[in-house]
Amino acid sequence: PGWLLSPAGRPYLDSIFQKNRRRVFGLLERPVLPPSLAAPTLTYKLFVSGKSGVGKTALVASLAGTPVSPTHHETLGIEATTVYWPAKPRASGRPVIFQLHFWD
């Protein structure tokens, strides 16, 4: 569980943070790692649905590291947010980077 804060996991965590804040990646951007630390990227699309006003957009914003609006406003249409998260599965022992596409 503490792999990200260990010396081996720190470069992966640093690739998604900038000045102690989560970086916001554009459509064509992704975390940059040195070739010796290259890790496969596993992509998932997560569709978030539910009743109006329950906090779906606030949840996605907090996971993406963007500011959460203190006032309620309805999301018009679909809002897509991409979040990258490095992990080291216990079974393989090799780091991977999860690319999570949240559709809210």
Predicted pLDDT at 84: 92
Domain assignments of the chain as residue spans, ordered by start: 3-103
Predicted pLDDT at 70: 82
Say how far residue 68 (Cα) sits from the centre of its chain.
Answer: 15
Q: Which two tokens stand for residue 103?
A: 């559709």
Regions of the chain with pLDDT less than 70: 1
Predicted pLDDT at 53: 85
Model's pTM, two decimal places?
0.83
The amino acid that residue 71 corresponds to is: T
Predicted pLDDT at 41: 92
Predicted pLDDT at 99: 93
Predicted pLDDT at 91: 86
